[in-house]
Amino acid sequence: MSSSSGGSVFDVVHRAARSDPAVVFIGSDIAPGLLSDMKRELPDQFFMEGIQEQHLIGMAAGLALEGLRPVVSTIATFLTRRCFEQVLIDAGLHRLPITLLGTGPGLAYAALGPTHCSVDDFALMRAVPGMHVLSPSCMGEANLLLEESLARRYLAYLRVPRGNEASLPAGSGSAAIGVPITLRQGSDAVIICTGGLAGEAGAAAARLAIDSIDAGVVHVHTVKPLSPASLLPLIAGVRLVVTIEEHLRSGGLGTAILEMLADARSEMPAVMRLGLPDEFVAGYGTHEQALTAAGLTAEGIANAVRGWCQR
Amino acid sequence: MDALVTAGGGHVGPSLSCVEILSSLYDGAARHRPDEPDWPDRDRIILSKGHGCAALYAVLAEHGYFGLEALSTLCARDSLLGGHPERHLVPGVEFSTGSLGHGLSVGVGMALALRRRGSQSRVFVILGDGELGEGSVWEAIMSAAHHHLANLCVLIDRNGLQSSGPTAEVLDVEPLADKLRAFGCAVRSADGHDTRLLSAQLGLIPFDGSRPSAIICVTTKGRGVGLAENEAAWHYRGSFSDSEIAEMRRSLDLLGGGRLPE
């Protein structure tokens, strides 16, 4: 993908549908104004269906078997938990080009409680053979990843970022599926982040520098498939790898990185996985408050790394 | 039945209850080309109750989708024919089923796509009556009616028996016709073993030009094999005793179609 696209991932869907009649959008009872322009312009390619996630994934599979390329969207928890078997069998087993856009990434809906916090979606979607698990840092990056995924006819799950921030993480002019983005070089430790935590990771590295801890930052927007060929050189020689994610500590990015390191049979750095404990999300408040409580802010990350270095 | 005996076990009852439903479709009601399984204008047939696949394999083989000899490989390690049908392995299988409650939603998606491109193809989805316990089935029926999918026909193998016992005792689906009507289907019933009657009904679809059709096919689980008929224990058999095989052979000989291996 050569250039950033304006608007949100939904605008990307609209543009893709305009240029290819095989692209269809299926929403599950989401906001009334969403893609109203597309609904008007391309009514045959727009479905706003009911609260029936299991059915909608099956329906998307049926459409895809007839040559269409459905993009299905609803709140991330419902899109990954409620219809997991349909995603696995209808979409995955049949290797269909279906895109899942999950809104409300990680702790974004903290105020709405554990039913709405998507903190196990990486684990669930990673378990689907052939699934691409995409966790962009901002809408601009999400748009690029979605364009590429649609063009390549991937089966993909994408965590839709909050807000319509279009600027890509510092130091990167583009985003390509599978290619990690180095945001900062570091020789002592490397912080591997995903989703909207790139900014916190960068700020944590800046704090650590004050304490003479040289920490790099790598943003991994493609949680699956990881690219060992790209990632291993970025962490070669460091003593500590820190993974941060708005997800359970088990089953997500940190787990994937550990598996990659074990499979690589290279010298194993210490790995610290920052994320959420094996508990249901508790407490409400803002997204920021939830991140603070989880230790997923610059201060929390820096404290954790500092603690490890001083032990 | 040869295949199931050779395999040493399998879903006997659920296969025997849907044989005539499948043969009515493939023998006449459905448009299809065995030598061109992906023919774009074919009618789509999804066996949502995938555990009845021994019957599907037999009908497909009889029509030449693959050789009859493949039937004797059922469930063997390298066979294309598994205990549930897989699309990428078996010519003529539209969708891989095995987990219940998936097929109708996929059929809805196909029917939507076919209608969108002006195709005359229909979609037939065969559900078990025990399968109706899956909530996703009713999500799909609501959706099919909402979208006025007259090119979709649901065939329910109403054998009245599920794995653990009679559906009336395990989870009663009655009043089934009323439920289907209330959900927006045009409903008829037929003797699911009478191919003449079934074919006549299938010739009348869509029963209503703006609604999906549903046919409640009243069947007997284990039909044709005396010791299996209406026996929950014969939903799935992990193995067959010699005397059971002998009894199955006797039953099929009476029907004139038995070729069970010695």
Among B122, B139, B148, B152, the strongest candidate for a mutation testing the A interface, having the largest count of A CBs within 10 A, is B139
Min CA distance, A274 vs chain B (Å)?
A: 36
pLDDT tens by residue, A181-238:
999 999 999 999 999 999 999 999 999 999 999 999 999 999 999 999 999 999 999 9
Contact A175, A141 (CB under 8 A): yes
Residue A310 confidence (pLDDT)? 87
Mean pLDDT throughout A43-69?
98
H or E stretch covering A191? strand A189-193
Q: Residues A6, A12, A18, CA angle at the centre, nearest 5°?
A: 120
Please give the span between the terminal C-alpha atoms of chain A, in angstroms, as a whole number. Answer: 44
For residues B236 and B73, give the distance between their C-alpha atoms in angstroms, rounded to a whole number: 18
Min CA distance, B106 vs chain A (Å)?
A: 4
For residues B253 and A253, give the distance between their C-alpha atoms in angstroms, rounded to a whole number: 61
Query: Can you read off the two tokens belonging to residue B239?
Result: 């193995």
Which amino acid is residue A303, in one-letter code?
Answer: N
Q: Is A86 on the interface with B (CB under 8 A)?
A: yes
Contact A291, A200 (CB under 8 A): yes
Interhelix angle A298-310/A198-210, rounded to 10 degrees, is: 50
* DSSP codes of every residue in A69-131: EEEEEEEHHIIIIITHHIIIIIIIITT---EEEEES-BTTTGGG-TTT-B-SHHHHHHTSTT-
Q: How far is CA B95 from the centre of its chain?
A: 12
Residue A1 confidence (pLDDT)? 38
Please give the span between the terminal C-alpha atoms of chain B, in angstroms, as a whole number. Answer: 13
Residues constituting chain A: 311
Contact B91, B99 (CB under 8 A): no
Strand A181-184 and strand A99-103: the pairing is: unpaired
Q: Is B70 on the interface with A (CB under 8 A)?
A: no
Residue A166 clears pLDDT 70, i.e. is over it: no
For residue B251, give the nearest of B259, B239, B240, B262 by alpha carbon: B259
B38 three-class SS = coil
Residue A52 clears pLDDT 70, i.e. is over it: yes
**Which residue from A62, A64, A68 is facing B105, i.e. has the nearest CB?**
A62
Q: Is A67 on the interface with B (CB under 8 A)?
A: yes
Residue A99 clears pLDDT 80, i.e. is over it: yes
The model's pTM: 0.96
**Which residue from A62, A85, A86 is facing B108, i.e. has the nearest CB?**
A62
For residue B97, give the nearest of A83, A27, A195, A90 by alpha carbon: A90
pLDDT band at A169 (very low <50, low <70, confident <90, very high): low
Q: How far is CA A293 from the centre of its chain?
A: 21
pLDDT tens by residue, B177-220:
999 999 999 999 999 999 999 999 999 999 999 999 999 999 99
Residue A150 clears pLDDT 80, i.e. is over it: yes
Percentage of the residues of chain A whose pLDDT score is greater than 70: 95
- What value of ipTM does the predicted structure carry? 0.96
Interhelix angle A228-235/A253-264, rounded to 10 degrees, is: 90
Tell whether omega for the bond before A32 is within 30 degrees of 0, i.e. cis.
no
Beta carbons within 10 angstroms of residue A47's beta carbon: 21
Residue A2 confidence (pLDDT)? 38
Order of strands across the sheet with A270-276?
A181-184, A215-219, A189-193, A240-248, A270-276
Burial pattern B144-169, b for ≥16 Cβ within 10 A else e, equals: bbebbbbbbbbbbbbbbbbeeeebee
| Per-range mean pLDDT, top range of A76-80, A173-177, B221-225 | A76-80
| Contacts with B183 from chain A: Cβ below 8 Å | none
Percentage of the residues of chain A whose pLDDT score is greater than 90: 90
* Residue bearing tokens 């998507």: A118
Residue A4 clears pLDDT 50, i.e. is over it: no
For residues B225 and B209, give the distance between their C-alpha atoms in angstroms, rounded to a whole number: 39
For residues B53 and B166, give the distance between their C-alpha atoms in angstroms, rounded to a whole number: 21
For residue A188, give the nearest of A205, A203, A202 by alpha carbon: A205
Residue B259 clears pLDDT 70, i.e. is over it: no
For residue B254, give the nearest of B220, B223, B208, B233 by alpha carbon: B223
pLDDT tens by residue, B138-185:
999 999 999 999 999 999 999 999 999 999 999 999 999 999 999 999
Residue B2 confidence (pLDDT)? 85
pLDDT tens by residue, A20-39:
999 999 999 998 899 999 99
Residue A3 confidence (pLDDT)? 43
Q: Is B131 on the interface with A (CB under 8 A)?
A: no
Residues constituting chain B: 262
Residue B262 clears pLDDT 50, i.e. is over it: no
Residue A171 clears pLDDT 60, i.e. is over it: no
For residues B4 and B6, give the distance between their C-alpha atoms in angstroms, rounded to a whole number: 5
| Contacts with B105 from chain A: Cβ below 8 Å | 54-59, 61-62, 86, 90
Residue B60 clears pLDDT 50, i.e. is over it: yes
